[in-house]
Structure 1
């Protein structure tokens, strides 16, 4: 049997695709990822997540299933027993699975369930964390422009001149695992990091390393028409109307600084793999679960049923293991995060234990011009009355506290129309969003990459709209359910015996009951018992 590659998954949280220098951001400082893409990996320019918040996205890319298949579209419905993940499947196939305790994947209330997905879980908080922001009250008073901005700014340094955070601890723990890796056993390592998730805060040298003058133009709400109601509702409650362009640039720069720190941590992990002599034997995946507004549309953070590229298009880089053909660089091939599942399982040589909708990206790794998809999909939102589906810590339909920085979003999501279910379909040029309530959206990404002008009513795009609606319907039909690989019995043993007992001679009773207990299928049982009945003496 050929040696199986190590599977390394580096998963920052809330990192948008445009945060990388090699994907066109002149202010980004991401030298490790840029070099990785230039010489060893394929970086997918058009990779889309399947839900713009954490839990649904992770439940999707670890299973190869879309959020709607099993209803994983909220922050409080995680994978439960009876479902599986890539981590568990690799563990059952003989991989040594290491992960940190950033869950957002498996139901924590089920004893032993999360633990069944890994051989080792690193639980954080074992090391002293760095000090807080230089501004001791970064939010200011209620009603102030920063109160709901998630902006905290520059972090202080400790006596060693660093600000050691939970991500640093996870990376150090992963490096320790690599150094002590058991020989001959393949490793699957999952690092679920926190940065660059809000709040926006970072220390030196990252804080000052971002040149504010090089930040790309920001997409302003005033330049948009026909956008989703959820965006204006969040802006209304956030109270950030006094934010100036300079304020937004500071927030954006800190976000980029957080991405720069992620890049540095990725570089440290890659160096450890090389030092351990296993780098060439690794299939390495770098991707985020979703993006971040980071000032676009005059908003911070994210939203669960809005589908702008800043939220749905994510960095996705893959380095195959030694021996696999690779054409390093940037690929424009459209892909989805469900394709991570298919690709990692293929590299591992493990057959999936369930139906999935991912497509292996190995053809694109070998030829960046190859194409595996015509469309990418993303989904989110809720039905009217589903208050238990309000995203982000608002469980059981409770009323959000105005103290939490997430209150504007939670308050906006209490509006049925604003938080209506939506599905995005994105092709090479056009993006269409269907909503159960409120207006649909249609954008020409070639003419309007910022998605500022909703052209859903434009008669010139009627044919485009009709085609995209048809493609969405076909996708829903193809993915609306899955049939388990294992089969259920139609009858209990008692039912089977009742159906054949009149055909079975007394001396064959024990034999037939044993056949039933062993799981013989109904047609074979009936055939055998009819033969027995034919052999009965008159």
Structure 2
């Protein structure tokens, strides 16, 4: 086994752990990876939203430590992260896929090369649609693009109120609901069957194809290849054969929408999205489509494994597969996710680690882990000392029984004094890029208490969620694993509440900040 193994990290987007545990779901390549690696069955994200969760994973720091609790405050160049550390220690660091992690200067500091990503698909599609236009029209549009995006430095998103961009908007695929206002599926995030030439169909293959091609180019070693997938993120949409792959009648019913004693945001989402109109058949349709997206992702993972094997790199590689968090997919009558939703649906995330030389192959670890444990684990395997204190535990030590967690934690949400953290910027549900998020963002602006800061503690027996505003939650997980009955006001449980509150307070004291490593003075 080499002292500095090649590393491949694949992170799925919104993949629930139980999707891979469902015998109905076809994921042969990830099943094979589990046989060659270690499956951590009780792994939890530190935040239920993409960017904060990813930043925690690749720094070993909980989201509150450096204020990375929103989609907007990404990792900056002065902040350390796993890829930057690997690069500084001689690794060829390469990224494919979506960012949702760091600023552009930080990307440059962390990766030697970037492969295909979501923007590549959009550019490819625009080129295809420009091709049949007459030369004069092409030149006019290219000149407009140069003025807008280079001279005026305008971002692509949020520009569709500018009439000059209408021609570009017409070239882009619609990302608002295909169902008209008033249709019961309008706010369900369900887009249905994708056309083969659409971005929904092309995005993932393009990303993974670029990574497979790079592996085939005999890259400089040691390398770390980071692939940030886009599946199975909403909207619920996939092309054939995946769309029709799962028999709708075979899909189990979701967790029911019992919302009387739940936080305000759950009832608001249920109401604003008109989700009460969704029938059991609709919910099974959503989940069958989601499972099709999972199978499509699994096939892309298989392409990377095949590329590694073709170059003789698989056996000695360290391969990690995980997800940033999960998705409701109809549970509790809800869809997508929420910044302060702490159900296991959203926080329990798959984690598979294939060690070099297939060490520990086929093992299953049922002890608690957190996705941010990835940070020290990778550095340990790469023979690199972590350059600062952090909150991750070595997964190898957990697997071998030397360390363990007796609970897992997560945080989310924003404070009213933090307007910079709230999600905003979409003016209409007809916005060509992000229209399907309009109601979600509008709710945060209309009622900031729905995303008030919150924290969660989960043990084997109990889950406590405290909020700076709104209904708190307490669940007896042994008797109520689906988190249906909120016991926060149960007069029989004062000792349980007080004990868990004290534990959560002590954790917050320990994990509220992290002094940097350097000494700026001598005393």
Please report the TM-score for the alignment, with normalisation by the length of structure 1. Answer: 0.82
3-state SS of 2:254 partner: coil
Q: Which residue of 1 aligns with 2:437?
A: 406
Pairing partner for 1:337 from 348, 371, 379: 371
Pairing partner for 1:32 from 22, 29, 32: 29
User: For residues 76 and 441 of structure 2, what CA distance do their matches in structure 1 show?
Assistant: 26
In the alignment, structure 1 residue 118 sits paired with structure 2 residue 153: no
1:136–1:195: structure 2 CA closer, same or farther, 3 Å change rule?
closer
Residue correspondences, number: 471
Pairing partner for 2:208 from 171, 187, 204: 171
- Are the equivalent residues in 1 in contact too, given 2:9–2:226 (CA < 8 A)? yes
User: For residues 8 and 167 of structure 1, what CA distance do their matches in structure 2 show?
Assistant: 17
How big is the shift at 1:364? 3.9
In the alignment, structure 1 residue 65 sits paired with structure 2 residue 92: no
Which moved further from structure 2: 243-252 or 480-489?
Answer: 480-489
Q: Which residue of 1 aligns with 2:238?
A: 202
List alignment gaps of at least 5 residues for structure 1. Answer: 490-520, 524-538
User: For residues 121 and 72 of structure 1, what CA distance do their matches in structure 2 show?
Assistant: 23
- Are the equivalent residues in 1 in contact too, given 2:63–2:411 (CA < 8 A)? yes
1:264–1:182: structure 2 CA closer, same or farther, 3 Å change rule?
closer
After TM superposition, list the pairs within 5 Å mapping 1:314-463 onto structure 2: 314-322=349-357, 325-326=359-360, 328-366=362-400, 372-391=404-423, 394=424, 400-403=427-430, 404-414=435-445, 415-463=447-495
How big is the shift at 1:476? 0.9
User: For residues 350 and 400 of structure 1, what CA distance do their matches in structure 2 show?
Assistant: 47
- Are the equivalent residues in 2 in contact too, given 1:135–1:152 (CA < 8 A)? no
In the alignment, structure 1 residue 260 sits paired with structure 2 residue 295: yes
Q: Tell me the alpha carbon deviations over residues 119-166 of structure 1, each in whole angstroms, 9 at most, x when there is no partner.
A: 11114355656999x99996321122122111111122359xx98512
Q: Tell me the alpha carbon deviations over residues 19-69 of structure 1, each in whole angstroms, 9 at most, x when there is no partner.
A: 11xx2x2431112212322x2112122111111111111111110000000
3-state SS of 1:45 partner: strand
How big is the shift at 1:212? 2.0
List alignment gaps of at least 5 residues for structure 2. Answer: 130-170
Q: Tell me the alpha carbon deviations over residues 159-214 of structure 1, each in whole angstroms, 9 at most, x when there is no partner.
A: 9xx9851211111111111112335x211010001110011111112111113233
User: For residues 171 and 365 of structure 1, what CA distance do their matches in structure 2 show?
Assistant: 30
3-state SS of 1:372 partner: coil
Which of 1 and 2 has higher RCO (CA within 8 Å, sep 6+)?
2
Q: Which has the larger radius of gyration?
A: 1
1:457–1:345: structure 2 CA closer, same or farther, 3 Å change rule?
same
- Are the equivalent residues in 1 in contact too, given 2:43–2:350 (CA < 8 A)? yes
In the alignment, structure 1 residue 291 sits paired with structure 2 residue 326: yes
1:135–1:347: structure 2 CA closer, same or farther, 3 Å change rule?
closer
C-alpha RMSD of matched pairs (Å): 2.5
User: For residues 392 and 15 of structure 2, what CA distance do their matches in structure 1 show?
Assistant: 22
Q: Tell me the alpha carbon deviations over residues 327-368 of structure 1, each in whole angstroms, 9 at most, x when there is no partner.
A: 52432111111101111111111112222110001034456x
